[in-house]
Amino acid sequence: MAKTFTNHCYITRDIKIQGGEPIIKGTRFPVRSIVFYIIKEGMLPEELVKEFPQLSLSAIYDALSYYYDHKEEIEALLEKQKEEIWKK
């Protein structure tokens, strides 16, 4: 079965921001960070909005949808970030 990807209206890429990785439009907030906080750390989307008011619930859920459409890419970015932290 072929994968079909949906349009993600809150997600964009800009080579000048976060090295071109997927971010929430109008912010510098990467999709990988949303995945980290919500999926890996168990934070609720509502809690994330309180911590980062530049985010909306719609943008967060779109980022999660993007993650499930591009899971390998985002997991690789999370692993890269983890390796960079350990190198410091």
CATH number at residue 30: 1.10.10.10
Taking residues 3-22, report their average pLDDT. 87
Within-domain flag for 3:
no
pLDDT, tens only, 33-63:
999 999 999 999 999 999 999 999 999 999 9
Residue 1: pLDDT over 70 = no
Within-domain flag for 1:
no
Q: Cβ–Cβ contacts within 10 Å for residue 48, how many?
A: 21
Within-domain flag for 30:
yes
CB 26 within 8 A of CB 20: no
